[in-house]
């Protein structure tokens, strides 16, 4: 009997993951534009350049961090595997706090649009907590409300919303400075993903990655009710929580869920963010040099193809290949096994053909005196 290799839940996963990567990449680029504008204002008012004042919230991964990140992720995975019962409440609360902040960041542009006609953009002081605009307060309030509803109901759609916020925030606030760091990070995470999905069962008698990803945690309200002896009817009917470390979508028949970890969105998303920034950097450099032509052995049509488009198509093909492999083998697949080659190899090939490989490999981005806010995508 014939069956579909891709169902409605997986189509939803494709679309949402690609939209999150594109949106997060452009939010990251807009943050760079805003930082450049603030640096110009600071330099014009104070007469000196201060490049560190506006980038405190942005984390750039260096080579050492890229090498040790898979090791740290493996240690965290083992802690969750062996001591989940002991740390689940703390982990749930920490995840809820991070998801609240991330979802507020996701909602901020919409809240800025809604509050602009009726409220000035002046910041309101809250003492030692800081100063916030009306849009920031509105987005944070809506985020807190959504997290509270998720804790009370445990609905998968609310969990997906929080996971989306985490994806966009991580893509926007984390930077890969060069192609070298990108290759180190993604190659290490590919090995990490393959080992914990395919080979962990031979050592630990269980698929560590799948068990940790699918294991629900006790609801903090239930734990608090039992600790304070509030009675059998207070806080005891709340569901266990599936943590927002993944996106899940039910199939049309409701028989199963399609699942994709946020690491499979964020890590390739960081590469997409890097190439989008490089496309913009190269566009500015070419405009400053009066449109100097590229290498003579590359056709004009090839020069017009952006690295962002090439890598995004590779991500889609890799995700489609991972989904088909999962349906054929009827087992969980390490998505990075397919996503990393389908994104890195076309990017490296195109960079070599265009003559940009050496510059992308190790040269950091230069600060530009002027920035274009319009990109062709």
193 is an active site residue: yes
Which of 193, 222, 279, 356 is labelled catalytic?
Answer: 193
37 is an active site residue: no
C-alpha distance across the termini of the chain, in Å = 42
Which of 7, 32, 264, 279 is labelled catalytic?
Answer: 264
| Residues known to be catalytic | 193, 264
């Amino acid at each position: 009997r014939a069956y579909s290799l891709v169902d409605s839940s997986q189509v939803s996963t494709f679309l949402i993951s690609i939209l999150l990567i594109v949106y997060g990449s452009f939010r990251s680029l807009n943050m760079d534009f805003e930082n450049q504008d603030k640096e110009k204002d600071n330099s014009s008012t104070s007469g000196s350049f201060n490049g560190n004042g506006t980038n405190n919230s942005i984390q750039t991964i260096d080579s050492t961090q890229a090498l040790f990140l898979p090791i740290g992720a493996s240690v965290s995975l083992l802690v969750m595997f062996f001591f989940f019962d002991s740390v689940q409440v703390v982990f749930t609360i920490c995840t809820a706090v991070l998801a609240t902040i991330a979802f507020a960041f996701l909602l901020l542009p919409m809240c800025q649009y809604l509050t602009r006609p009726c409220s000035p953009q002046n910041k309101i002081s809250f003492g030692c907590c800081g100063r916030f605009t009306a849009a920031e307060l509105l987005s944070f309030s809506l985020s807190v409300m959504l997290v509270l509803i998720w804790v009370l109901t445990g609905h998968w759609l609310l969990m997906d919303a929080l996971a989306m916020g985490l994806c966009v925030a991580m893509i926007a606030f984390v930077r890969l400075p060069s192609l070298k760091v990108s290759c180190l990070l993604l190659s290490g995470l590919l090995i990490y993903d393959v080992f914990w999905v395919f080979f962990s069962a031979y050592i630990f008698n269980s698929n560590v990655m799948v068990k940790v990803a699918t294991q629900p945690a006790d609801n903090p309200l239930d734990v608090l009710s039992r600790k304070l002896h509030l009675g059998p009817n207070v806080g005891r009917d709340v569901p266990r929580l599936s943590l927002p470390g993944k996106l899940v979508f039910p199939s049309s028949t409701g028989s199963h869920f399609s699942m994709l970890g946020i690491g499979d969105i964020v890590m390739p998303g960081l590469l997409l963010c890097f190439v989008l920034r490089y496309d913009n950097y190269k566009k500015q450099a070419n405009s400053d040099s009066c449109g100097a032509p590229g290498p003579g052995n590359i056709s004009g049509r090839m020069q017009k193809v952006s690295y962002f488009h090439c890598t995004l198509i590779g991500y889609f093909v890799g995700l489609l290949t991972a989904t088909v492999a999962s349906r054929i083998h009827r087992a969980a697949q390490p998505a990075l096994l397919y996503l990393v080659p389908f994104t890195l190899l076309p990017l490296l090939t195109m960079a070599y053909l265009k003559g940009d490989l050496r510059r992308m490999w190790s040269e950091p981005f230069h600060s530009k005196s002027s920035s274009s806010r319009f990109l062709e995508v």
